[in-house]
Structure formats: C-alpha cells, structure tokens
Structure 1
Amino acid sequence: MRRPLLALTLAFGLPAGAAIWQGGDLSRFFAARASSGDLLQGCTDVPEAVALATELRDRALRIERYMEALETRKAEIAAAEATLRARAGELRQQKSGLQSRRNGASQAVREDIDRLIAVYDQMKPAEAAAVLTNLPPDFAAEILMRVQPETGARIIAAVEPRQAALLTAQMGARSARND
C-alpha cells in the first residue's frame, strides 16, 4: 500500500519540484500528467491511489482554470490602462486648449484696457475728470493708476476734492492688495 503511494508521490513530486525550480508552468505539467493514460497503471486496485490521482487531476484543472482567468484579467487590465491613457491624453489636450483660449481672452482684455488708458491719456484733464467722477470708484482708480503719472496728476487735480480723496484712497487700497 505504501509503495503505490510512494510511486505516485515520486511520479508527481519530483517532476513538479523540477518544474518549480526551473520556473515552469505547473498547470501544464499537471494537465499533461493527469491526462496520461498510464497514470494509474498497476495501481487501480488501491483506492487511495485512485483518490489521490482524482484529486490531483481536479487540482490541475482548477489551476488551469485559475491561470486562464488570470490571463483574461491581465488582458482586461491592459485594455483598461490603454483606455485610461488615451483619456488622459484627451484631457491634457483639452486643458491646453482651454489654457490657450484663456490666454487669448486675457490678452484681448489687456489690449482693450491699454486702448482705454491711451484714450484717457489723450483727453484733456478736465474732460477725463468729468468722465471718471461718473464711473465706479474702483474702476476710476484703476484707470488713474494706469495712465501716465503726469496725466493722472492733472486729472486728479481737476476732480472735486471729495471725489479726489475717494479715488486716492481706492488707488492706495489697490496698491495694498497687490503687495
């Protein structure tokens, strides 16, 4: 009784150990061994040997199915990674497009402000003062901060003293916020 069990152990154990040692694929080893017709040759009368052979065959089939499932999962993960990489590339392109549009819009706003400042630089101080007193104080202060210093000084001089004090305070508050 021990001899057939020992024979089966040696028949499976030594080649399996060699396959593990060499980094081989055990599922193919067990599948090949389990499908051979001479697995139980001379041992069919030993119930333990038959049970062990059946269990080994079942284990080999489970291992084979598990390996197939792993390969399927690897393929799914690779496909998901490819999809994520493609989506990340699309998002980067969209981000750069948004940034370039935003930069273009900012440039257009700067150009508009520069034209507006140039208009106020060309106006007579009394006329510019009359227009600025009708604007919101923060906007008027912004314009005064950007015109030429001499022009800004003449415009403030032409503004009513209370309004000039308010504009000057707004200009100072803006400078303090930017620091």
Structure 2
Amino acid sequence: MRNRLFWTCITFLAVGMTAAAGGWIARAPMALAAPGALLGGCTDVPEAVALAETLRLRGIAVDRVLADLDRRKDDLAAAEQQLIRRLTALKQAKASVGDARTARDSGTAAGIERLIAVYDAMKPADAAMILAALPPDFAAEILARVQPDAGARIIARIEPAHAAVLTAHMGSRRLSGN
C-alpha cells in the first residue's frame, strides 16, 4: 500500500509540475520555490518530499545555468559586435593604405618617366658624364628605359670599362625579367 501511495504521489507531483510550469519541456524549466502545493496529501511520504526537494534544487541549478548561458550569450554578442567594428576599421585602413600605395607608385612611375624624358632630351656627352657618376645599377636602369637611339649615343660617350659594367647590368636585368 505504501509503495502504491508513493508512486501515486510521484505521478501527481510530475503532472502538477508540468502543469504549473506550463509545458516546461517546450520552454526553459523554472524552479518552483514552493513545491508544497504539488505535494498535496503526500507530505507524509518522506521519499516524495525528498524527491520534490531534489527536483526543486535541480530546477534552481538549471535556472542558474540558464541565466549564466544568457549572460555568456550577451557577452558573445557584444564581443562579436566589437570584432565586426574592428574588422570594418581594419578593412578601411587597408583600403586607404592601398590607395596611398597606388598613388605613391603612380607618382614614382610618373617621376621616373619624367627623368627618362630628361635623359632622352639631353646631349649624349652631358648624359654620359652624369650617368658615369651614378651607381651602375641605377645608370643601367636609366639607359634601359631611354629611347634606343639616345641610349646608344649616350653609351658611346661613356669610357669603355664603365660602359661594359653598365651593359652587363642592363643584360642581367633583361635576363631576370625586370
């Protein structure tokens, strides 16, 4: 008889908790602070009282875990927003650096083209004297970019030993593909 009473109380307790929680399986479980109403008539069964207390404590623990999960979810959402803002700022910085680099490169290319045009317009003797004073790799680059006729006239005015060095630099640049 006592065993039957125990299971009856447990059944009523489970049904009562489900009804009181409003379908707790479908939504977050909520701890019941006062299980006394659910135990109606079963308070004389120590097992039922112990089970009700265990369930209440578990419900409280679940509520705490759910609250902690909500807090962590909020923290993650805030961190995600911060990362998105940082990523956007980095993309903008990268774009501005790319724009600045492009402008610098185009300015450098335009400056080199103007320099080459100056050497094309110079008298070969004057250009040869200036190129002889420059570092060989830089002088070879200029000679490689001037008009072939102007380059031939300039290199003819440079002393033979220095002309050989410049020609070797020009050849090595062409072989390396630069």
After TM superposition, the score normalised by the length of structure 1 is: 0.88
CA distance in 2, matches of 1:43, 1:50: 8
Structure-1 residue corresponding to 2:131:
132
Q: Which amino acid aligns with 1:25?
A: R
CA 1:9–1:49 in 2, change beyond 3 Å: closer, same or farther? Answer: closer
- Alpha-carbon distance change, 4 to 58 in structure 1, aligned in 2, over 3 angstroms: farther
Equivalent runs, 1:23-42 vs 2, <5 Å: 24-28=26-30, 31-32=31-32, 35-42=34-41
Say which SS state the counterpart of residue 37 (structure 2) adopts.
coil
SS at match of 2:26: coil
Identity of aligned residues (%): 47
Structure 2: which 5+ residue stretches go unaligned? none
| Match in the other structure for 2:10 | 9
| In structure 2, distance between residues paired with 1:100 and 1:146 | 27
Q: For 1:76-106, what per-residue CA distance to the aligned partner results, in whole angstroms no more than 9, with x for missing partners? A: 1011101100100000000101111111111
Deviation at 1:10, TM superposition (A): 2.2
Distance 1:72 1:4, change over 3 A: farther
Give yes or no for contact 1:19–1:26 (8 Å, CA) kept in 2.
no
1:133 match: secondary structure? helix
Report how far residue 12 of structure 1 moved: 4.9
Change (3 A) 1:9 1:159: same
Question: Cα RMSD between the aligned structures?
Answer: 2.0
Alignment of 1:18-97 (within 5 A): 19=23, 24-28=26-30, 31-32=31-32, 35-97=34-96
The alignment of Structure 1 onto Structure 2 pairs a total of residues equal to 173
Query: Structure 1: how far apart are the matches of 2:37 and 2:113?
Result: 95
Determine the structure 2 residue equivalent to 1:143.
Answer: 142
Structure 1, unmatched stretches of 5+, are none
Cα distance in structure 1, aligned partners of 2:4 and 2:143: 106
Contact 1:44 1:50 (8 Å CA) reproduced: yes
Shift of residue 122, structure 1, vs aligned partner: 0.3
- d(CA) in 2 for partners of 1:73, 1:3: 45
159 and 150 in structure 1: CA distance in 2 versus 1, 3 angstrom threshold:
same
Deviations 1:29-66 (A, max 9, x none): xx25x535421111111111111110000001111111
Structure 2 length-normalised TM: 0.88
Residue 56 to residue 139, structure 1, CA distance change in 2 (3 Å): same
Matched residue of 1:27: which SS? coil
